[in-house]
Amino acid sequence: MAKPMTKTQLVAALAEKMGSDKKTATGALDAITDIITSEVSAGGAVTLPGVGKIYCRERPERMVRNPATGEQFTKEADKVVKMTIAKALKDSVNG
């Protein structure tokens, strides 16, 4: 399995695709990250065309077990960020 792309590598690749400098690419990436964070934390969803949909889902209260001690306890309801991958991306990876 290949190593994940770092932010520095992503900024360099984005700058090359955009035909601009790394400072502009960093600003664009940070702006997209801020928009996604604020929208999802407010309960909305963001669709990145060709990549997927990022959204927040609520999990109900449930019983969990500590694997070290075996103790069972109730975990409160919480929210979790999920991502559904777009069909176009799945198809490009698989074929």
Label residue 77 by pLDDT band (50, 70, 90): very high
For 62-65, the CB contacts below 8 A with 24+ separation are none
Model pTM score: 0.78
Query: How does pLDDT run across 27-59, given as a tens digit for each residue?
Result: 999 999 999 999 999 999 999 999 999 999 999
Residue 43, token pair as written in the block: 């309960």
Q: Which amino acid is at 70?
A: G
Domain extent for 92: 45-95
Average pLDDT, the chain: 94
Per-residue model confidence (pLDDT) at position 19: 94
User: Do 2 and 22 share a domain, yes or no?
Assistant: yes
Work out how many domains the chain is built from and give that number. Answer: 2
Q: Is 8 exposed, middle or buried (0-12, 13-18, 19+ CB in 10 A)?
A: exposed
User: Do 17 and 30 share a domain, yes or no?
Assistant: yes
Measured CA to CA, the distance from residue 6 to residue 12 in angstroms comes to 10
Of all helices (H) and strands (E), which one includes residue 53? strand 52-59
φ, ψ for residue 77, nearest 5 deg: -65, 145
User: Do 84 and 58 share a domain, yes or no?
Assistant: yes
- Asked if residue 23 has pLDDT above 90, the reply is yes
User: Do 51 and 77 share a domain, yes or no?
Assistant: yes
